């Protein structure tokens, strides 16, 4: 199993010493290669679930396992991107994508080759020498996905990656991300408050209650032709962009 939550509860203590339960007794697992969404109202603990998967927070109770191993801290098995992913403004797109590879000590030529391949994969060919401010919001999110995929994580975590985008760009990116990720076959956990987005993109949806978030429903998405690239399947009128 790629990801397992076993009866996970997470409490935070604020400055005044008051304890708040963000996530309550959450158990689920995600299979290798599966695309699962977590939906729920604002403040119900979705990002907390992502942070525990990424090793940024430890559960107060219960266990989080990635590939059967407890998550003990931030690690290279898990790649994540956020609503407004910070590309480094002083680096061009290709060197932004290379950033994590540099940190892992990959040589210059290999790093460039990997970054360029990921750039093409995320439909950013020709933009390698542009700087983040020269790209649209949607393209910046694609660059952030390319950077996440470049490190070849076992699990991809996406936290509301489209919520800062306009409706049209959002729809385009929901489709292109689903297609790009399906091609990698990587296990993915998408956090969103948008049930429509979850239905469009995932194999399975976990629905959380209001805070403290606990799983109140599980929806298996069984769209026809799930293995077809979403772009062609759902919105043929959009075409390439
Ligand atoms: P969501 O992503 O579903 O909107 P979050 O997981 O961000 O919700 O937050 C769930 C609850 O936990 C909220 O009430 C939030 O204020 C609280 N919370 C999240 N992170 C922290 C933190 N580091 N310290 C204290 N409280 C936090
Ligand atoms: Mg959140």
E strands within the chain? 3-13, 19-30, 35-39, 61-66, 69-70, 78-81, 155-159, 187-192, 204-208, 215-220
From the CA of 53, the nearest ligand is 1
Q: Which ipTM did the prediction report?
A: 0.98
Q: What is the DSSP letter of 45?
A: S
Burial class (CB in 10 A: 0-12, 13-18, 19+), 55: middle
What Cα–Cα distance (Å) separates residue 107 from each residue in 27, 34, 125, 187, 217? Answer: 41, 32, 22, 27, 46
Task: From 17, 41, 45, give the residue whose CB has the most ligand 1 atoms within 8 Å, as the site to mutate.
Answer: 45
- CA-CA distance, 32 to 5, in Å (whole number)? 14
The string of pLDDT tens digits covering residues 110-146 is: 999 999 999 999 999 999 999 999 999 999 999 999 9
pTM of the full structure: 0.91
CA of 172 to the centre of ligand 2 (A): 22
How many Cα atoms are found within 13 Å in the side-chain-facing hemisphere of 1?
12
Q: Which atom of ligand 1 is nearest to the CA of 208?
A: 3
Residue 198: its pLDDT value, please? 95
The string of pLDDT tens digits covering residues 38-58 is: 999 999 999 999 999 999 999
Q: What is the DSSP letter of 227?
A: T
pLDDT of 72 above 50: yes
Which residue's CA lies nearest to atom 17 of ligand 1? 22
């Amino acid at each position: 199993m790629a990801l397992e939550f076993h009866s996970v509860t997470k409490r935070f203590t604020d400055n005044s010493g008051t304890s708040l339960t963000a996530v309550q007794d959450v158990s689920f697992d995600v299979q290798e290669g599966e695309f699962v969404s977590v939906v729920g109202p604002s403040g119900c603990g979705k990002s907390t679930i992502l942070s525990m998967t990424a090793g940024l927070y430890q559960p107060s109770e219960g266990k989080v396992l990635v590939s059967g191993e407890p998550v003990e801290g931030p690690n290279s098995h898990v790649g994540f991107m956020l609503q407004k992913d910070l590309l480094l403004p002083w680096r061009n797109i290709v060197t932004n994508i290379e950033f994590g590879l540099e940190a892992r000590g990959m040589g210059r030529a290999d790093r460039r080759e990997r970054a360029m391949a990921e750039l093409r994969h995320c439909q950013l060919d020709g933009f390698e020498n542009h700087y983040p401010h020269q790209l649209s919001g949607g393209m910046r999110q694609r660059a952030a996905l390319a950077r996440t995929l470049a490190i070849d994580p076992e699990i991809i975590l996406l936290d509301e990656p489209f919520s800062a985008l306009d409706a049209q760009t959002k729809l385009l990116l929901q489709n292109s991300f689903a297609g790009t990720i399906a091609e990698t076959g990587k296990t993915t956990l998408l956090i969103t408050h948008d049930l429509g987005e979850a239905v469009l993109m995932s194999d399975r949806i976990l629905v959380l209650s209001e805070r403290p978030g606990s799983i109140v429903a599980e929806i298996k998405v069984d769209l026809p032709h799930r293995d077809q690239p979403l772009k062609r399947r759902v919105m043929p009128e959009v075409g390439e962009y």
